[in-house]
Structure 1
């Protein structure tokens, strides 16, 4: 498999796993209802995303950097809403 094909695969995976958080973030912002969201799960997930982001920077992988930057922003919005509205 060529490097370009591998990068394309990475970008496709990044798009799918990143934008799956968009509906959750939008719903949380819109309703401010966080009752079904686990604080610990969101916090651990955010920590994992930070580690993936650092890893992506260290290996200079743009799919990892881009996906994890956007995902982290969305998860932090949800986490902030959970902390604020309980």
Structure 2
């Protein structure tokens, strides 16, 4: 059995990309704040993930589509939370994690 190093590298990259957004999204929910986050950065990141999803769809590559679609959802969530007024950010976070 041979190891497909391209698949291994792609899997590690996909898992790391998805995992990198999870702590930021939870931090927003737990702290009820997006202070210090860059609107431009998350807008550009969302565009990049949308482009990767489109590229994956055009090529029919589910290994590109799935992780980038998940990351796009996280990036869009964070972008939306940044764009909301502070009181709305707190309301959304409260609905997602009422115990915090």
TM-score range, shorter chain: 0.7 to 0.9
2:58 aligned with 1:58, yes or no? yes
2:16 aligned with 1:27, yes or no? no
Q: How many residues align?
A: 85
Structure 1 range deviating more: 58-67 or 45-54: 58-67
What do residues 41-85 of structure 1 show as CA deviations (whole Å, max 9, x unaligned)?
111110111001100111122221111111011111111110113
Aligned to 1:8: 8
TM-score between both structures, scaled by the size of structure 1: 0.85
Distance in 1 between residues matched to 2:80 and 2:29, nearest whole Å: 10
Aligned to 2:89: none
* Residue ranges of structure 2 left out of the alignment (5+ in a row): 87-100
For the aligned residue pairs, the C-alpha RMSD in angstroms reads 1.8
* Residue ranges of structure 1 left out of the alignment (5+ in a row): none
The structure with the larger Rg is: 2
**Taking structure 1 as reference, are residues 12 and 74 closer, same or farther at Cα in structure 2, changes over 3 Å only?**
same
**Does 1 or 2 have the higher relative contact order (CA < 8 Å, sep 6+)?**
1
